[in-house]
Amino acid sequence: NLSLDRHSVINEPFDTKVGTWAVCGFPDEFTKEQESIGCFDAIKRYEGNCLLGAIHKEYSSGNYDYLELIADYQNDLPLSFGGISGGGLWHIVLEQPPQGCIRVKAMILSGVVFYQSAPENNIRSIKCHGRISVYRMAYEHITGFFNS
């Protein structure tokens, strides 16, 4: 529910350098087709996953903000992030109390994936609409659509 966190995400956002980030979705290359079973002619199995990382670049253009992560192919990653477009970019804010273990302080939907660059030197950029794009621009568009 975007309206629950909207004020704090827009006006008091956590620093992008705090915690970790996750791009979550369903890469096409992990989709499996299975033989028909019973009344079903075809069955597809979608396997979701999340790429954990840090924000490499953040910028604005007009009323929209953008966040980019880097996919480094020295790690075990899908060859393509096709199918993840529309997936969520999550900010996982961590904290460590003085006498305790690291724990999750907040998990905040902070963007929507929409683009992958071509790989270059085993690195690919994953571009996302950011918090302002989601919590202000998309929110206002959606509420305006349903309130008109």
- What integer is the mean pLDDT of 13-29? 92
With a cut of 90, say whether residue 75 has pLDDT above it. Answer: no
With a cut of 90, say whether residue 20 has pLDDT above it. Answer: yes
85 closest CA partner among 65, 113, 127: 113
Return the bridge partners of 128, or none.
Answer: 67, 113
Q: How many CB atoms lie within 10 A of CB 107?
A: 12
Which one is predicted more confidently, 2 or 56?
56
The total of structural domains in the chain comes to 1
Residue 133 tokens, joined: 């794009």
Range with lowest mean pLDDT among 10-14, 86-90, 142-146: 142-146
Mean pLDDT of the chain, nearest integer: 89
Is residue 121 within 8 Å of 3, Cβ to Cβ?
Answer: no
80 closest CA partner among 42, 41, 26, 37: 26
**Angle at the Cα of 71 from the Cα atoms of 83 and 23, rounded to 5 degrees:** 50
Distance between CA atoms of residues 68 and 129, nearest Å: 9
Secondary structure (DSSP) of 83-128: T-TT-EEEEEEEE--TTS--EEEEEEEEEEEEEEPPPBTTEEEEEE
pLDDT for the residue 113:
95
pLDDT for the residue 115:
94
The CATH number of the domain holding residue 73 is: 2.40.10
- What integer is the mean pLDDT of 81-101? 90
Per-residue model confidence as pLDDT tens digits over 110-136: 999 999 999 889 889 999 999 999 998
Question: By residue range, what is the domain housing residue 143?
Answer: 2-147
- What integer is the mean pLDDT of 23-40? 87
141 — pLDDT class (breaks 50, 70, 90):
confident
Residue 21 tokens, joined: 């980030």
Distance between CA atoms of residues 52 and 21, nearest Å: 6
